[in-house]
Amino acid sequence: MIRIDCPWCGMRDEAEFTYRGDATVTRPGANAPEEAFHDFVYARKNPRGWHVEWWYHSSGCRQYLKVVRHTMTHEVRTVARATETPEVPSE
């Protein structure tokens, strides 16, 4: 069970949130080649370690959050607002 410290609502249970995937990918420009769009939609790194992810607080404040989570231990290091850029630990 993951507990996420929502910047708006405080410490909440994972069940209130909806996982929305990798928060580091950015949409290519409108004239980018098809390959860039393919990577944007499908290609993910799936790292073992720290990962910046979108978590949508669907049963709480309905805000998208950036969560820095370790994919092996599930430790949550940072929870930030969507407009922020959270620091990612090197190890």
Which residues of the chain form contacts with another protein (CB under 8 A)?
8-13, 15-16, 58-63
Q: Which amino acid is at 23?
A: A
Least distance in Å: CB of 62 to another protein?
A: 5
Smallest gap, in angstroms, from Cβ of residue 79 to another protein?
A: 14
| 49 SS3 class | coil
Based on C-alpha coordinates, what's the Rg of the chain?
Answer: 14
Q: Shortest Cβ distance from residue 16 to another protein (Å)?
A: 6
Nearer to another protein, 63 or 78 (CB): 63
11 touches 3 (CB < 8 A): yes
